[in-house]
Structure 1
Amino acid sequence: MLSVNKDSLWNLNDDIIPGYRALSDAVHQQGGRILAQLAHSGGTVLISQPGRESWSASAVRSETTGNIAHEMTPREIREVIDAHARAAKRVAAGGMDGVEILGAFGFLPQAFLSPLTNRRTDHYGGDLENRMRFLLELLEAVKGALGPDFVLGARLPGDEFEPGGLDLAQMKEICRTVSASGLVDYLNIIAHTNITHLGRARHWAPTPTPHGVFVHLAAAIRAVVNVPVFTVGRIVDPAHAEDILARGQADMVGMTRAHICDPEILPKIQGKVKSKVRICAGANVCIANRYAGKAIRCIQNATLSTPGAALSPAERSKSVAVIGAGPAGLECARISAERGHRVTVFDAANRPGGQLALWANAPSTRELARVIDWRLNELERLNVSIMLNRLMERQDILDLGADALVIATGALDTCRDFAGTASIRVISPHELLGGIPVTASRALVLNEGRGQAGLAAAEVLLHQGITAEIVTSDIAVAADVDPTNRSAWYERLGRKGCIFTGAHIVDSVNEQSVTLRNVFDDRLSTREGIDLIVDWPGCRANDALISGWDEHPIEVVSVGDCRAPRTVEVAISEAAAAAKAL
């Protein structure tokens, strides 16, 4: 990529060619084809190095980064175009099959196309013909560098969905012109722009965004161009992808997050792999890690964060007792059974899934149930028994006579005691998400714990017609939640009237009123008419069973939140690693 992002591939010199060659050879050996996407982030880039500047069509501020870009001179425009051409030659030298120009996400080509970011008065700005000039010159240069034997495509937005921005009518005209130029072999249609706060949350949309959210844009553009059109955007099920193609809405379907979740989608639908397709739940853990500069992880696919994707058969088949049927327990049971162990799962609750099953009860997070459901289906296929309503004490476990014990008892709900709450009910988010009946008119959600439980609780309240305010001592509500999910939650809850209050804690509770204190300046403010507090201080590890086994001839491991409350993907990854070692 052409980028100053630390987590991108830098196609700046010939040093990248051997890496391209290794990657393309690996793909070609499997019968596939591979393109390199060339990208210049333009004004959306987050500058982390002193003295660096972002370049864009005009000196416009990005809401996402806060940067005001440098308006490129004609000479700098030519410099960037020529750099793309040189980069394309390296792609070809590396054995790739072609190039895709990233002209979406508010990146440089889109910055020139869009009236939101192009305020120029020269021949690169103004009317649509001038605003298309940069993209066409860029494509022409890259096409010339590649030659006729390589594929060239362009990824473009079908609509920015911003007042004064590119709309579908303009994008149809742009795509028609690009197609008629003969420069591209296909168009890849997405939407929105990264220069806005909601941009990433919309084009990498998390649950509960509808599946195939951009298909209508691809279909509309396909009707006016003479090249194949790709569609993307929360297409997670192969059956849905096939339906899109059958309806003629697109010529190819992109399923990136779906393949991160399950790289074996194709062999599974071809019947070459026994297990069912693992469907993306839209949690966006992958996107969160990518933008944090970390290795990509997945809430569903633990193999991304545990070394060695292939499972080796166990040297000896053991009887394994798993205590806890949350995500960690189910994953450990699944992999243990795949390796040939005889596994039984026990849980004190009347349903499997642990805390995740509760979170999946909120209107916006129902798809998280996929994490549990897929593992339950796999355990059924592997003949693993799940014993519910079984509170296992230490002697109960010893009586099983198992060879190995997996402690996956998760974390316990907590609520604080507030003096003066005789007339104000105090419950936890898990009680609310578990379906406990509530009667209230105005609630405070005290969101001190990490993650999205407080947000999900507020949504449940709002759906019941209860006014909700989320309060946290952090600088902002859900400050630890990744930008795509946080922005989406803010939008959803804000539209329902939710109030977000950061940097405050409870000072005192009185009859139907709560006084909050600002953590920085100690100013007090009172909320009247409060009749419900949903308190989320976080969980504590349910670790009673972890220790005390040294005198017994049983192999014991503990995984997930019973060690320390963390995220779902960490719990699943830890469980997978433990199961591979049994």
Structure 2
Amino acid sequence: MKTLFDKTKILNMNMKNRFIPEYKEFTDKIHKIGSNIIMQIVYGGFMTDYNTKIRTIWGPSTMKNEVIGTWSKEMRKEEIKYLVDAYGQAAKRVKESGFDGVEIHAGHGYLLSQFLSPYYNKRKDEYGGNIENRSRIIFEIFNAMRKCVGNDFPILIKLNSYDYVKEGGLTEIDSLYVAKKLANLGINAIEVTGGNESIKEVVDSNMGAARTKIVISKEKESYFKSYATKLSKIVDIPVILIGGNRHLDVMEDILNNSNIQYFSLSRPLTAEPDLINRWINGDNKKPKCVSCNKCYTTHGKRCILNIRES
């Protein structure tokens, strides 16, 4: 016999699936122009100031975001299980929406990077303590996602290399452990990042993921390449380097002198959406982006240089 609760579950599922048709239309258009698209999914934790007075913000422990002041509540085990299952269902919707893969975001101070970092993870149960425990939630999420999407659908992860905090943060050794185990579990690629943007010390020292003033010299570019190079030597899956990739010759040098296979760009493409085509056509002059980060505060995340020109 059906109950009202059954109907409520069906209604909730329909609400969660309501964006699939729009996403499918979007991904179809991307495929028609000859490109692929991967969706990145994340639970932000206390990296938000949206309606925090009336919302419960989860964290590995009860902690305060030092930069924006948002507090998180320590997750109960049943809440961790709920989140793990939610990631799996989200991956399934990503696949049904026509995306070519899904990426887990585990960097920059978002929830999963908080679990990895002893700076924020003070738990005494199987989700805290040593790195095997602190990374347990990520392995469970990956397994839940793989179960929902099958073995042929690409799953990637954006993984912190360091927190760049002087004491108590995620270390390179611990991060490499997580990356290698994920590779052994069957993840398809690892995108290397770093920095914890909820820690004031990291932000003040310009050691976050989106650093400024990197165009002063080419030596400041590709600032996660040391870790990414080490990682590329111990895993048999693609390693993707982000962080200050600006000049084509710098990236080609890394490509030819390491096992790093792919490079990510973000801010340069905000400034010049056609940058890659420009490079393909032989125009290798320096990119327009000056890493000022003003795009983060403009309406629509637009490049401030383009706004001035329009």
| Corresponding position: 1:164 with 2:168 | yes
CA contact (8 A) 1:111 1:118 kept: yes
Paired position in structure 1 for 2:210: 204
Paired position in structure 1 for 2:12: none
- Partners of 1:45 and 1:299 in 2: CA distance: 24
Letter in 1 for 2:182: V
| Corresponding position: 1:297 with 2:297 | no
- Partners of 1:114 and 1:160 in 2: CA distance: 8
| TM-superposition CA deviations, 1:35-90 (whole Å, max 9, x none) | 10010012322232541121011001110221221100011001111111111111
CA contact (8 A) 2:37 2:100 kept: yes
CA contact (8 A) 1:44 1:64 kept: no
Residue 153 of structure 1: how far off its partner (Å): 0.4
Paired position in structure 2 for 1:113: 116
- Partners of 2:38 and 2:202 in 1: CA distance: 25
Residue 270 of structure 1: how far off its partner (Å): 2.3
Unpaired runs of 5+ residues, structure 2, are: 1-14
**188, 191, 198: which one aligns with 1:188:** 191
- Partners of 1:278 and 1:166 in 2: CA distance: 32
Paired position in structure 1 for 2:294: 285
| Corresponding position: 1:174 with 2:178 | yes
Residue 13 of structure 1: how far off its partner (Å): 1.3
More relative contact order, 1 or 2 (CA 8 Å, 6+ apart): 2
Instruction: Give the total of aligned pairs.
Output: 288
Paired position in structure 1 for 2:61: 58
For residues 124 and 275 of structure 1, do their structure 2 counterparts lie closer, same or farther at Cα, with a shift above 3 Å needed?
closer
Residue 250 of structure 1: how far off its partner (Å): 1.4
| Corresponding position: 1:218 with 2:218 | no
SS in 2 for 1:48: coil
Give % identity: 27
- Partners of 1:237 and 1:119 in 2: CA distance: 41
| Corresponding position: 1:24 with 2:24 | no
Structure 1 or 2, whichever has the larger Rg, is: 1
- Partners of 2:225 and 2:100 in 1: CA distance: 26
CA contact (8 A) 1:215 1:249 kept: no
For residues 130 and 278 of structure 1, do their structure 2 counterparts lie closer, same or farther at Cα, with a shift above 3 Å needed?
closer
| TM-superposition CA deviations, 1:406-425 (whole Å, max 9, x none) | xxxxxxxxxxxxxxxxxxxx
Letter in 2 for 1:206: T
Within-5 A mapping of 1:7-406: 13-162=16-165, 163-182=167-186, 184-199=187-202, 201=206, 202-208=208-214, 210-271=220-281, 278-289=287-298, 294-300=299-305, 302=306
SS in 1 for 2:145: helix
CA contact (8 A) 2:246 2:287 kept: no
- Partners of 1:83 and 1:41 in 2: CA distance: 14
Paired position in structure 2 for 1:461: none
Letter in 1 for 2:232: R
TM-score (norm 2): 0.87
Higher helix share: 2
CA contact (8 A) 2:278 2:284 kept: yes
Higher strand share: 1
For residues 199 and 15 of structure 1, do their structure 2 counterparts lie closer, same or farther at Cα, with a shift above 3 Å needed?
farther
Residue 148 of structure 1: how far off its partner (Å): 2.0
- Partners of 1:149 and 1:222 in 2: CA distance: 22
Q: Structure 1 residue runs of 4+, over 6 Å off? A: none
CA contact (8 A) 1:47 1:53 kept: no
| TM-superposition CA deviations, 1:91-127 (whole Å, max 9, x none) | 1111001100000011111111110111111111111
CA contact (8 A) 1:268 1:276 kept: no
| Corresponding position: 1:572 with 2:309 | yes
- Partners of 2:285 and 2:113 in 1: CA distance: 39
- Partners of 1:270 and 1:47 in 2: CA distance: 41
SS in 2 for 1:101: strand
TM-score (norm 1): 0.47
| TM-superposition CA deviations, 1:152-184 (whole Å, max 9, x none) | 0010111111111111111111211111122x1
Letter in 2 for 1:151: P
| TM-superposition CA deviations, 1:291-348 (whole Å, max 9, x none) | xxx3111133x2xxxxxxxxxxxxxxxxxxxxxxxxxxxxxxxxxxxxxxxxxxxxxx
SS in 2 for 1:44: coil
CA contact (8 A) 1:42 1:108 kept: yes
Unpaired runs of 5+ residues, structure 1, are: 1-11, 303-568, 574-582
Residue 226 of structure 1: how far off its partner (Å): 2.1
For residues 247 and 23 of structure 1, do their structure 2 counterparts lie closer, same or farther at Cα, with a shift above 3 Å needed?
farther
Letter in 2 for 1:171: S
Q: Which moved more, 1:260-269 or 1:157-166?
A: 260-269
Letter in 2 for 1:205: R
Residue 252 of structure 1: how far off its partner (Å): 0.4
CA contact (8 A) 2:52 2:70 kept: no
Residue 275 of structure 1: how far off its partner (Å): 9.5
